[in-house]
Amino acid sequence: MRLVRSADEAPDGGALMGVQQLWALAQVWYGDRLDPEWTPRTRDESQRLLADVGLDDPFWELPR
């Protein structure tokens, strides 16, 4: 991850995400990790979490 101030500073081939979007993703991605009943999520569940916070362009497509 590289923090930038504007889209002009974004690296080629990367994607931009705002701080609020990053925080929203962190909450859903890691929010249940300390739960004793936690189990790893499936690829499709992870993909849905990305989409739920607005990360649904091809850059965020997880490998199959």
Classify residue 64: in a domain, yes or no: yes
Give CA–CA dist 14/2, Å, rounded: 10
Cβ of 56: how many Cβ atoms within 10 Å?
13
Q: Which domain holds residue 51?
A: 38-64
Beta carbons of 49 and 29 less than 8 angstroms apart: yes
Classify residue 54: in a domain, yes or no: yes
Classify residue 44: in a domain, yes or no: yes
pLDDT tens, per residue, the chain with 64 residues: 677 777 777 767 778 888 899 999 999 999 999 999 999 999 999 999 999 999 999 999 999 9
Per-residue pLDDT at 16: 84
Per-residue pLDDT at 61: 96
Per-residue pLDDT at 6: 73
